[in-house]
Amino acid sequence: MKRICVFCGASTGFDPRHAQAARTLGGTLAERRLGLVYGGGHVGLMGILADAVLAAGGEAVGVIPEVLMEREVGHHGLTELHVVGSMHERKARMAELSDGFIALPGGIGTLEEFFEVWTWAQLGLHRKPVGLLNVAGYFDHLIAFLDHTVAQGFLQDRHRALVLEDRDPAALLDRFERYQAPAVAKWLDRQST
Q: What is the pLDDT along the chain (193 residues), one digit of tens a residue?
A: 999 999 999 999 999 999 999 999 999 999 999 999 999 999 999 999 999 999 999 999 999 999 998 887 899 999 999 999 999 999 999 999 999 999 999 999 999 999 999 999 999 999 999 999 999 999 999 999 999 999 999 999 999 999 999 999 999 999 999 999 887 555 555 555 4
Residue range 105-116, pLDDT digits in tens: 999 999 999 999
Give dist(CA 91, CA 94) in Å, integer: 5
Pair 131, 172: CB distance under 8 Å: yes
Q: Which amino acid is at 35?
A: G
Pair 157, 150: CB distance under 8 Å: yes
CA angle 107, 1, 44 (to 5 degrees): 25
Instruction: Identify the pLDDT of residue 140.
Output: 98
Instruction: Identify the pLDDT of residue 193.
Output: 47
Task: Compute CA distances 69 → 22, 42, 43, 139, 145, whole Å.
Answer: 22, 10, 12, 29, 35
Instruction: Identify the pLDDT of residue 149.
Output: 97
Residue range 9-23, pLDDT digits in tens: 999 999 999 999 999
SS3 81: strand
**Average pLDDT over the chain, rounded to an integer:** 94
